[in-house]
Amino acid sequence: MTRRRLALVGAVLLVAACVERLTAPGHCPEFCPSGQITVVDTLLTTSINRDSSVRGYVVSYQSALMLAAHLPGPTDTLDSRPIFRFNGFGLRLRISTADTSTGLILGADSARLQLTIVRRDTAMRNLRLQFYRLPTTIDTTTTFGAVAAPFTDSLVRTINVDTLLAQPGRKDTVTGDSVVVDTLNHRLLLSLKFDTTAARYIGTDSGMVAYGIRIAADTLASIAFGKGTVGPVLQWYLHVDSLGRPVARAPGSLAAALANFVFAPPPAPLDSTLAVGGVPSARSLLRVAFPKFIRDSSQIIRGTLYLVPAVAARGAPADSFVMEARTVLADFGRKSPIDPRLDDPIVIHPGATDTVKIEVTNMLQLWAADSTHPTVFLLRPQAEAQYLGEIRFYPSAALAFRPTLQVTYVKRFPFGVP
Amino acid sequence: MSRADRWTGERAVGIAVVAAALLTASPPVRLSAQDSQFGIRGLGTPGRWESVRSRSSGGAFAPFDPLSPLTEAPLADIGQLTATAAGGTSHRDALVGDTTTKLRATRFPLLVVAGRVAPRLAVAGGFTTYLDRSWDVTLRDSAVLRGTLERYRDEITSDGSVADIRLAAASRLSRRIAIGAGVHILAGSTRMTAERRFDDSTFRTVGQVDEVRYDGFGVSGSVLIGVVPGLTIAGWARADNRLRAKVGDTTSAVTDLPRMAGGGLLFVPSPSVRFAGSAAWRSWSNAGPGAFDTWSWSAGAEFGSGRMPFRLGARGGQLPFGPGTKAPTEFAAAAGTGRAFAQGRAVIDLGVERLERRGGILIERVWTVLVGLTVRP
């Protein structure tokens, strides 16, 4: 037994004896390996070619937001107006949940409209919302001009969001409006009371109702309303005929059947510049002739894409948007499928004309690792059609300002050389 | 099992544990190994082709030791099949200026199996370390990248060695003369890494890894001459062609290897007292710039019976690789003992060596604890 224990202890000690500690500070060049890590930095000025822009990937009704803006410019005013429509209950409504008997909807006592402002500039003051009744025929093809007339003569309500926020409990006891501040998601949930005049229930038109919003503020006004789960919701308070006697009924809330926005002026047509952003959203493709000497025998440690704006980025000052550089899985031009694995984002500030530098190290490393991968950059807004802002860069045809790629790489270490 | 056998076995286990403890323990002055910072810039650190018995006496007995793969002729006197292996743990202090780095490594640098295959012919096979190439160097520096001073930390490592696989044969031509010859296949590999971490994480970490394989070939020959009873001289020579380094299928370097020659003197005035001395020359300057021809010497003694002798010795000489125009030097003192068990069928040898290497601004001080096991089945 003693022998076994001793043998066990001996084995453990022998294993412990094999611990190595070889790390020592180098005193170069005397006591360092002759080979060194060699870093090379190169600017590829002519490697980006065959670049182009395409617009129309995400249009306004496909956007996750409804954009509202009133931005006077030197030559024109960017005016964006949310429009939305609620389908109605038709001519008749069930009177009771106990049976299936229905009564004729006589009209609306009032309605409550809920809206969520999901993006706003907190420095914006005196934000006013003007609600207009729009034709119920609005749809995804409705243009700014098509609803210009109702936006002129069909004002139904005006509210001042800042005044409402200043009310005790953020409730206006006179108008019945209220606002809830969601500090977690940085949202404002507006609950607005529309009286009989503002909320007319016309059963012969199946109860459909459509509204549009114009905004105004003391400074440049630009906000975004939510859609979908945080989109407009309408609660009707109706009078229903019950055996000749009108009774009040509050059927379930209705979500918007259409939520869109229209704006003017429309984006400038695409030219030879590389456009990114706007509504409908524009993307740009940049094809890179990736040098073989970098791809095959080096390790890329940093890559930066330089883009020179051809004009100052457009958009509201507070509406900086994120542009991302991605690569594609296959180069099919405008229909190239995006590689979802990698993206390198950068914030674009409207009005800025500084050269945009995007770190694209991830993508360059991917291209170096997979020689079959298309060497194409795709530039697009991270949130497409959710900002009116747009930036345009000089293309490769503009020799003095063409896109360039700076690559820092490490040559193969001379392993095995004494 | 007889009582005597039990006693012998328990003692053997006990000594093994003590040996392991010696290998493991970290004394106040830290111990060290074969590796050397001097070998980083060259081909590596040459191994010592000595059994623990020889190394405990400074290496002086190596030309006369059949279990040391330095020479072949002593194999002629090996009586029966014998195998030996060695292990060593080294604790090394590398001093550069006021900076001391404590390093530690464990190696198993020797395995020899030898035996007689005919009345006048003995053969041996085994391996030993030809060049040790394990090191890990870190460096803090900076460079201007994209117009900005970027600080970084480099770490370059090499883990592996070049082994000398030897097949040797020896024959005693007469009572006074024995000769031997051997062929040496040099083979091995190192796993090398080069890493650079920038303080600025915008620059990604550089990480390159590769395996470097080495090969080479050599031949050697030796002779033992009994001058008079109790006095023997030995001579040996060896030539290795070149060391080829390959990364993947690409040859990254071909380096000429040295010619070597040496001799020794063994004086045995009585059965329990033995003295030896040896010297060797190696033309390491063949390896290119930064390499030097080396001379080395050793002297040692062994006292006592074969059952439990006491050994001591010293050695000195030059190292083949180092900075500047002069070869680094080294000096070592060693002592050791051994213990035979089971009627001499098993021998455990223990040794300790204190070594100092100097070259340029670097001083290395090394403690090495050695354990050898020899079996004669």
B30 — pLDDT class (breaks 50, 70, 90):
very low
Residue of B nearest to A358 (CA): B202
> What is the predicted pLDDT for the residue at B29?
29
From residue A276, alpha-carbon distances to A241, A323, A379 in Å are 56, 8, 7
- How far is the alpha carbon of A40 from chain B, nearest alpha carbon, in Å? 9
- Structural contact between residues B15 and A8, judged by C-beta atoms closer than 8 angstroms: no
- Preceding amide of B320 cis, omega within 30: no
Mean pLDDT of the region A130-138: 95
> What is the predicted pLDDT for the residue at A402?
96
Which residues are CB-neighbours of B324 under 8 A, at least 6 positions away? A30, B359, B360
- Structural contact between residues B54 and B62, judged by C-beta atoms closer than 8 angstroms: yes
> What is the predicted pLDDT for the residue at B160?
92
Distance (Å, whole) CA B154 – CA A23 = 12
Between strands A178-182 and A187-194, the pairing is: antiparallel
Instruction: List b or e across A252-285, with b for residues whose CB sees 16 or more CB atoms inside 10 angstroms.
Output: eebbbebbbbbbeeebeebeebbbbbbbbbbbbb
Asked if B37 lies within 8 A of A24 by C-beta distance, the reply is: yes
pLDDT tens digits for range A314-325? 887 778 999 999
DSSP annotation of A144 reads T
For tokens 């749809």, what's the residue?
A139
Question: Exposed (0-12), middle (13-18) or buried (19+): which is A371, by Cβ within 10 Å?
Answer: exposed
Percent of chain B, pLDDT > 90?
77
User: With 70 as the cut, is the pLDDT of residue A5 above it?
Assistant: no
Which residues are CB-neighbours of A321 under 8 A, at least 6 positions away? A277, A315, A347, A348, A381, A382, A383, A386, A387, A389
Average pLDDT of chain A, as a whole number: 90
* Type of residue numbered A66: M
Mean pLDDT of the region B165-193: 96
A278 Rama sector, left if φ>0, alpha if ψ -120 to 50, beta otherwise: left
Distance (Å, whole) CA B69 – CA A318 = 81
What is the ipTM for the molecules in this complex? 0.79
Identify each DSSP E strand in A161-264 by its residue range. Answer: 178-182, 187-194, 209-216, 221-226, 233-242, 245-249, 254-255, 258-264
Mean pLDDT of the region B212-238: 96
Distance (Å, whole) CA B76 – CA B67 = 11
pLDDT tens digits for range A313-368? 888 777 899 999 999 999 999 899 999 998 889 999 988 899 999 999 999 999 99
Asked if A10 lies within 8 A of B13 by C-beta distance, the reply is: yes
> Which three-class secondary structure state does DSSP give residue A53?
strand
Which of B136, B157, B204 has the CB atom closest to A302's CB atom? B204
Asked if B156 lies within 8 A of A22 by C-beta distance, the reply is: no
- How far is the alpha carbon of B105 from chain A, nearest alpha carbon, in Å? 5
User: With 70 as the cut, is the pLDDT of residue B237 above it?
Assistant: yes
Closest to B372 measured CA to CA, from B86, B134, B138, B154: B86
The Cα angle at residue B258 between residues B255 and B262, in degrees rounded to 5: 170
Mean pLDDT of the region B228-249: 95
pLDDT tens digits for range B104-139? 888 888 999 999 999 899 999 999 999 999 999 999
Interface of B with A in 296-355 (CB under 8 A): 322-324
Q: Which structure tokens are listed for B66?
A: 């059949």
Average pLDDT of chain B, as a whole number: 89
> What is the predicted pLDDT for the residue at A167?
93
B331 — pLDDT class (breaks 50, 70, 90):
very high
From residue B345, alpha-carbon distances to A273, B304, B310, B376 in Å are 89, 18, 19, 5
pLDDT tens digits for range A269-284? 999 999 999 999 999 9
Residue B325 CA to chain centroid, in angstroms? Answer: 25
Greater confidence, B66 or B30? B66
Is the CB of B254 inside 8 Å of chain A's CB atoms?
no
For tokens 């084995």, what's the residue?
A11
Give helix B3-24 / helix A2-17 axis angle, nearest 10°: 20
Distance (Å, whole) CA A317 – CA A310 = 18
Which of B41, B103, B146 has the CB atom closest to A21's CB atom? B103
Fold of A39-58+267-411: Jelly Rolls (2.60.120)
**What's the pTM?**
0.80
Residues of B in contact with A34 (CB under 8 A): 41
Percent of chain A, pLDDT > 70?
95
- Structural contact between residues A363 and A400, judged by C-beta atoms closer than 8 angstroms: no
Distance (Å, whole) CA A24 – CA B104 = 11
Residues of A in contact with B101 (CB under 8 A): 24-25
Q: Which structure tokens are listed for B162?
A: 């070049």
From residue A259, alpha-carbon distances to A62, A139, A146, A255, B143 in Å are 9, 9, 16, 10, 56
Interface of A with B in 346-405 (CB under 8 A): 359, 361, 365
Which of B17, B136, B322 has the CB atom closest to A10's CB atom? B17
DSSP annotation of B32 reads B
Distance (Å, whole) CA A368 – CA A298 = 9
Q: Which structure tokens are listed for A381?
A: 């807004």
For tokens 């002739």, what's the residue?
A289
Asked if A418 lies within 8 A of B143 by C-beta distance, the reply is: no
B32 — pLDDT class (breaks 50, 70, 90):
very low
User: With 90 as the cut, is the pLDDT of residue B318 above it?
Assistant: yes
Percent of chain A, pLDDT > 90?
70
* Type of residue numbered A65: L
Mean pLDDT of the region A7-13: 59
Is the CB of B217 inside 8 Å of chain A's CB atoms?
no
Distance (Å, whole) CA B111 – CA B132 = 16
Between strands A23-25 and B135-145, the pairing is: parallel
> Which three-class secondary structure state does DSSP give residue A219?
coil
- Structural contact between residues B246 and B271, judged by C-beta atoms closer than 8 angstroms: no
- Structural contact between residues A389 and A380, judged by C-beta atoms closer than 8 angstroms: no
Which of B24, B204, B324 has the CB atom closest to A301's CB atom? B204
Asked if A418 lies within 8 A of B101 by C-beta distance, the reply is: no
> What is the predicted pLDDT for the residue at A75?
79
pLDDT tens digits for range A210-230? 999 999 999 878 999 999 999
Least confident of A211-215, A395-399, B9-13, B67-71: B9-13
What residue spans of chain B are helical by DSSP H? 3-24, 52-55
- Structural contact between residues B104 and B139, judged by C-beta atoms closer than 8 angstroms: no
Which of A35, A37, A416 has the CB atom closest to B206's CB atom? A37
> What is the predicted pLDDT for the residue at A96?
82
| Calculated CA dihedral for residues A377, A382, A384, A387, nearest 10 degrees | -120
Q: Which structure tokens are listed for B87?
A: 């292990």
User: With 80 as the cut, is the pLDDT of residue A24 above it?
Assistant: no
Which residues are CB-neighbours of B46 under 8 A, at least 6 positions away? B39, B130, B131, B132, B282, B320
Give residue limits of the domains in chain B: 3-375
Residue A220 CA to chain centroid, in angstroms? Answer: 20
Closest to B167 measured CA to CA, from B237, B115, B224, B120: B115
* Type of residue numbered A49: N
Least confident of A19-33, A189-203, B233-247: A19-33
Closest to A13 measured CA to CA, from B17, B354, B162: B17
- How far is the alpha carbon of B68 from chain A, nearest alpha carbon, in Å? 23
> What is the predicted pLDDT for the residue at B86?
94
Mean pLDDT of the region A46-51: 93
Closest to B241 measured CA to CA, from B111, B130, B376, B328: B130
- How far is the alpha carbon of A418 from chain B, nearest alpha carbon, in Å? 5
State which H helix or E strand residue A284 sits in. Answer: strand A282-288
Give residue limits of the domains in chain A: 39-58+267-411, 77-264
Q: Which structure tokens are listed for A405?
A: 């790629």
Asked if A22 lies within 8 A of B99 by C-beta distance, the reply is: no
Mean pLDDT of the region B67-87: 94
Q: Which structure tokens are listed for B81?
A: 């099949």
Asked if B206 lies within 8 A of A410 by C-beta distance, the reply is: yes
- How far is the alpha carbon of B71 from chain A, nearest alpha carbon, in Å? 28
State which H helix or E strand residue B307 sits in. Answer: none
Interface of A with B in 89-148 (CB under 8 A): none
- Structural contact between residues B337 and B358, judged by C-beta atoms closer than 8 angstroms: no
CATH architecture of B3-375: Beta Barrel (2.40)
Mean pLDDT of the region A82-104: 89
B61 — pLDDT class (breaks 50, 70, 90):
very high
| Calculated CA dihedral for residues A142, A144, A146, A151, nearest 10 degrees | 120
Greater confidence, A195 or A19? A195
| Calculated CA dihedral for residues B139, A25, A19, B207, nearest 10 degrees | 10
